[in-house]
Amino acid sequence: MEKERFYITTPIYYPSDKLHIGHTYCTVATDAIARYHRLKGEEVMFLTGTDEHGQKIEDKAREAGVTPKEFVDAIVEGPRGVKDLWKLMNISNDRFIRTTDDYHVTSIQKIFRKMYDSGDIYKGTYKGKYCKPCESFWTESQLKDGCCPDCGRPVTDAEEEAYFFRLSKYADKIQHLLEDTDFLEPRSRVHEMVNNFIKPGLEDLCVSRTSFTWGIPVDFDPKHVVYVWVDALSNYITALGYGNDRYHDYADWWPGVNIVGKEIVRFHSIIWPAMLMSLGEPLPKKVFGHGWLLLDGGKMSKSKGNVVDPYLLAEHFGVDALRFFLLRTFPFGTDGNFSNEALIQTINVDLANDLGNLLSRTVSMVGKYFGGQLPEGSGASESDRHLAEECVKEHFIAAPVGPEDNAYDMSLIVQAANLRNLYENQMEHYAPHNALAEIFKVIDRANKYIDENAPWTLAKDMEANGPRLAHVMYNLLESLRVCAILLTPFIPTSAAEVLRQIGACEKCSTWDSAAVWGSLPGTVTVQRGENLFPRIDMDKELAALEQAAAEAKKAALPDLEVEPQLEEKVDFDTFCKSDFRAVKVKDCQPVKKSDKLLRFTLDDGTGTDRQILSGIAKWYKPEDLIGKTLMAIVNLPPRKMMGQESQGMLISAVHTEKGEEALNLLILDDKIPAGAKMC
Ligand code: MSP
């Protein structure tokens, strides 16, 4: 039987700057959906890429003193660039398209000409408003308070000879597509599109520019370059070989599913289907417009300077933990507020406490009570299997009332047996957050099952309770198995490790087996392994993250951009409360397991030693500081770092030199006695 085919795409991102956590969110979500379809046994094509033309990139390259191609090459292919980021995040894309790729350029010229030849593109004069950061043209009536309705920034007048696409011709068809089919989801976005864009009257779209050159030339009129959205939207088909010889599988894969952020739904649900109608090609199966990750309630954007660096988070917390957090926390279709606290909280609660503990407790109990291998007869009984089959067939989700001692088993088995269906239903509706919630209900149930059965009490009389204890362990391993299979699209590496630790063979790690209770052999052998998700110390990590982010920010700023900033004013009384004083270094040692911290023992003039930890190991050798007179603030609340208390802060001067942070402690004249106040 031929396998089902599934084609899915992310937007192609602008390489005008490094990508941030918002882009990562979209790519990770699309990756999880792609992996889910692969897990189900479908053939999948997953495409992502970069949208490299346009005035913004031309301007940025000029500012940087390089050609546009050099500029985008560095961001896409360079160290810690777009491709590196997707590799780090374990993204399983099959293709990566760059709109500067030759084959794409060839296709765009053909697409443009085809629409021109059919009369859907014509020459005219463009008068309108242009938003440079968004590369969007607007009519007066579309502006919001005179500014770009997407980003709120000012727009400029623009007038030029241009080619136009007859978008107006397709208005009725598009309205029908949006209102009468489930082409665009979530449905809440349909209203917005129809009311804001179609009902006021769809105007023809300006699809060429003469005001800049960094784009694909119209081959029959080369002073024009193709409008960047026509160039960009077509990537979904040019990457399959439409209009070029680089690939030949357009007919195999198209139409597919386009996952996009809500701010570009307009392009994908109006312009894109109209272009395809004009070309006589099938429309996407679906356009899904996901919500934004917000920071302090507002959109993250490089130009606002409030972005979160995915590299930093992945390196700190691990790739799977970050992937998991993004998809577990934010409902896919709506906006959500990003915070480091929420990230740590999710890791601690769901991954460390719930999943991590369930795994480590189960595996270690099988080790402790049975030497790592369950004895013959521990597996699923006939009635367990029957119960599981029935509840899937009959769609019941509550356990039938059964004999008292069996009630816990039945309730766990019913929930685990139903999981795959519930999960599938959510994934098919692009609700990965709900799919994860279903998994965690079972994990929760299994954790309770441990308490209900109190294995440690059963183990007190192995002769009488051994078989029951072994069956309890088996049920826990089975529940973990089903959950781990279904977690694979979200946390591929960790899910594989769970399956390894519980001793699941290849055959009992498949999609099919996730719906068959009792797939794990009764005499399964577990393998102890590392703690998958260690608990995180919230305060320590938040401080470390803050420091790392500040360092990264400073390191990223070229010298020229670092202007001395005057900080917010404090009143004189507040200033006077700060206890700055001279301190003498009695001892200074490196802090174990830290390459940043030094531990100082200081004479602060009070007669009692003061301990201060300072992250300056990069700049000073401990022995060089002993005996020196430094300046410290000593009435900050004490803080723990690497398990040790720091009672204040040493004062240093910080500046940037050749893109590197430079730091100098304020070293005072040794004549100044310890404890002398600075004022
Ligand atoms: N190049 C266009 C897309 C062309 S697709 C044919 C573009 N690029 S972009 O770099 O601005 O990336 C936009 C996409 O990145 C959004 O649609 C969204 O998927 C993702 N996100 C960017 N910032 C985001 C958040 N703050 N939150 C969630 N997703 C975000 O537009």
CA-293 nearest atom, ligand 1: 27
Q: How far is the CA of 440 from the centre of ligand 1 (A)?
A: 29
Residue 82 Cβ < 6 Å to ligand 1 = no
Query: Distances in Å between the alpha carbon of 21 and those of 18, 252, 323, 427, 526?
Result: 10, 33, 10, 22, 37
Reported as a single tens digit per residue, the pLDDT across 153-169 is: 899 888 778 999 999 99
Site of tokens 């730091």: 663
Residue 275 Cβ < 6 Å to ligand 1 = no
Angstrom distance (rounded) from CA 591 to CA 18: 34
Reported as a single tens digit per residue, the pLDDT across 312-324 is: 999 999 999 999 9
Q: How far is the CA of 637 from the centre of ligand 1 (A)?
A: 42
User: 3-state SS of 625-670?
Assistant: HCCCEEEEECCCCCEEECCEEECCEECEEEEEECCEEEEEECEECC
Residue 310 Cβ < 6 Å to ligand 1 = no
Residue 246 Cβ < 6 Å to ligand 1 = no
Residue 231 Cβ < 6 Å to ligand 1 = no
Reported as a single tens digit per residue, the pLDDT across 118-150 is: 999 999 998 888 888 877 777 787 788 899 887
Angstrom distance (rounded) from CA 275 to CA 289: 19
Nearest to 583 by CA among 601, 598, 604: 604
Query: Distances in Å between the alpha carbon of 161 and those of 212, 369, 589, 615?
Result: 13, 81, 71, 60
H/E run at residue 585: strand 580-590
Cβ–Cβ under 8 Å, residues 335 and 290? no
Burial-class residue 459 by CB neighbours within 10 Å (0-12, 13-18, 19+). Answer: middle
574 has pLDDT over 80: no
pLDDT at 425: 97
Residue 51 Cβ < 6 Å to ligand 1 = yes
Query: Distances in Å between the alpha carbon of 305 and those of 291, 551, 564?
Result: 20, 15, 17
pLDDT at 42: 98
pLDDT at 564: 37
- Among protein residues, the one whose CA lies closest to atom 14 of ligand 1: 261
Q: How far is the CA of 261 from the centre of ligand 1 (A)?
A: 6
| Least confident stretch, 32-41, 60-69, 161-170, 385-394 | 385-394
- Among protein residues, the one whose CA lies closest to atom 13 of ligand 1: 13
Reported as a single tens digit per residue, the pLDDT across 434-452 is: 999 999 999 999 999 999 9
Q: List, as one string, the DSSP characters of 292-316.
A: PEEETTEE--GGGT----HHHHHHH
Of all residues in the chain, what percent carry a pLDDT higher than 90? 78
Angstrom distance (rounded) from CA 442 to CA 560: 55
Omega before 284 within 30 of 0, i.e. cis: no
Query: Distances in Å between the alpha carbon of 130 and those of 15, 127, 139, 149, 158?
Result: 20, 9, 9, 11, 6
Nearest to 479 by CA among 511, 434, 445, 454: 445
Q: Give the side-chain half-sphere CA count within 13 A for 105.
A: 12
563 has pLDDT over 60: no
Residue 272 Cβ < 6 Å to ligand 1 = no
CA-264 nearest atom, ligand 1: 17
Q: How far is the CA of 576 from the centre of ligand 1 (A)?
A: 48
Number of other CB atoms surrounding residue 492 within 10 Å: 19
Number of other CB atoms surrounding residue 613 within 10 Å: 23
Query: Distances in Å between the alpha carbon of 386 and those of 118, 411, 516?
Result: 62, 14, 10
- Looking at this protein, which amino acid is placed at residue 494? S
645 has pLDDT over 50: yes
| Least confident stretch, 108-122, 251-265, 481-495, 572-586 | 572-586
Q: How far is the CA of 341 from the centre of ligand 1 (A)?
A: 24
Q: How far is the CA of 259 from the centre of ligand 1 (A)?
A: 10
Segments of 291-431 assigned E as strands: 293-295, 298-299, 336-338
Cβ–Cβ under 8 Å, residues 394 and 487? no
pLDDT at 303: 62
Mutation pick for ligand 1 pocket among 23, 236, 326 (CB with most ligand atoms within 8 Å): 23
Residue 299 Cβ < 6 Å to ligand 1 = yes
Omega before 11 within 30 of 0, i.e. cis: no
- Among protein residues, the one whose CA lies closest to atom 5 of ligand 1: 11
Reported as a single tens digit per residue, the pLDDT across 509-533 is: 999 999 999 999 999 999 999 899 9
Q: Residues near 273 by Cβ (< 8 Å), separated by ≥ 6?
A: 170, 174, 177, 183, 283, 284
Residue 6 forms beta bridges with which residues?
A: 44
CA dihedral 408, 410, 414, 416 (to 10 degrees): 60
Query: Distances in Å between the alpha carbon of 246 and those of 101, 230, 243, 249, 489?
Result: 10, 20, 9, 10, 30
